[in-house]
Every structure is written in structure tokens, then in C-alpha cells.
């Protein structure tokens, strides 16, 4: 495989509560090991039907605000047609329409180009699946 394209799978344990998990350090480490100072694109992809990737501020309450907003938009109740698993689990299958399962971000000089307060995060509202995979791919 050409060194212009490199990929890695991260295995993330999200636990039994809805969560926003910061992946920024993992992304930066991957780029330090693989980008070799090149410009390119980092793609983050979650191969799950009930999780997504968001670029948001974390640590100042925004991650909790995101989960609260998702509760308002997608309540965990019995309105959903998809009804297996934990009550309200159908909403987890709608989540990727609001928080997509991917993001593609610029890499300049081997470094992730994020704004001052931006972080790359895994958003997981599915408490039935505590183990997630995240694929990082660099093209440069």
C-alpha cells in the first residue's frame, strides 16, 4: 500500500451511559506516526448504525449540551418503530441523520487543522453497545 494512504482502527469502550468521547489526541497521534509532515485529509469513520462523529468544543459543557439537545430532538421513549434493545433504542438508529458517522478534516504540514476550541468526538447514545470501532484514514 502506498504511504499516500494509511488507515488504522481504534477500539473505543464507551461504557453503559450516553457519551461524547474526545478522539482528538488519537487523531493527532495517528497523524504524527503517518502523515510525515504532509498535507492531506484525515477521514474519521464510525462503522456503526447508532453512533456519529462531531467536531465540537469539549470540557466547557458543550459535550453535555449536545447530549441534552439530542434528548430533546430524539427522546428515549416508545415513539420509535425500531423497538429492540433498551426502551427508546430506535432513536439511536436515527442519530446518524443528525450526527453523521464520518468527518473529513484538513491536515497541513502533518498536523490536524482544527479551530482553537474544536475537538473530534465520537457521539454514542447507544447504551446497549459498549464497544465501538473508529477508522482513521489519512490521504496525503
**CA separation for the pair 34, 58 (Å, rounded):** 26
Strand extents, DSSP E, the chain: 5-13, 19-22, 40-45, 51-56, 102-108, 111-112, 119-124, 131-139
pLDDT of residue 87: 82
pLDDT of residue 1: 43
Torsion, Cα of 66, 68, 73, 74 (10° steps): 100
Extents of the domains making up the chain: 5-139
- Give residue-wise pLDDT tens across range 9-26: 999 999 999 999 999 999
Torsion, Cα of 101, 25, 110, 10 (10° steps): -50
CA atoms within 13 A on the CB side of 73: 14
pLDDT of residue 97: 96
According to CATH, the topology of domain 5-139 is Jelly Rolls (2.60.120)
pTM of the model: 0.93
pLDDT < 70 positions in the chain: 1-3
Amino acid at each position: 500500500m502506498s504511504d499516500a494512504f494509511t488507515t488504522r482502527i481504534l477500539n473505543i469502550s464507551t461504557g453503559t451511559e450516553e457519551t461524547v468521547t474526545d478522539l482528538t489526541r488519537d487523531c493527532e497521534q495517528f497523524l504524527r506516526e503517518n502523515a510525515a509532515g504532509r498535507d492531506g485529509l484525515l477521514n474519521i469513520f464510525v462503522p456503526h448504525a447508532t453512533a456519529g462523529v462531531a467536531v465540537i468544543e469539549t470540557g466547557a459543557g458543550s459535550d453535555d449540551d449536545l447530549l441534552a439537545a439530542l434528548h430533546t430532538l430524539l427522546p428515549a421513549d416508545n415513539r420509535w418503530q425500531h423497538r429492540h434493545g433498551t426502551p427508546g433504542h430506535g432513536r439511536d438508529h436515527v442519530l446518524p441523520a443528525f450526527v453523521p458517522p464520518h468527518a473529513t478534516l484538513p491536515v497541513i504540514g502533518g498536523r490536524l487543522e482544527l479551530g482553537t476550541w474544536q475537538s473530534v468526538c465520537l457521539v454514542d447514545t447507544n447504551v446497549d453497545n459498549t464497544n465501538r470501532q473508529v477508522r482513521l484514514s489519512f490521504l496525503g
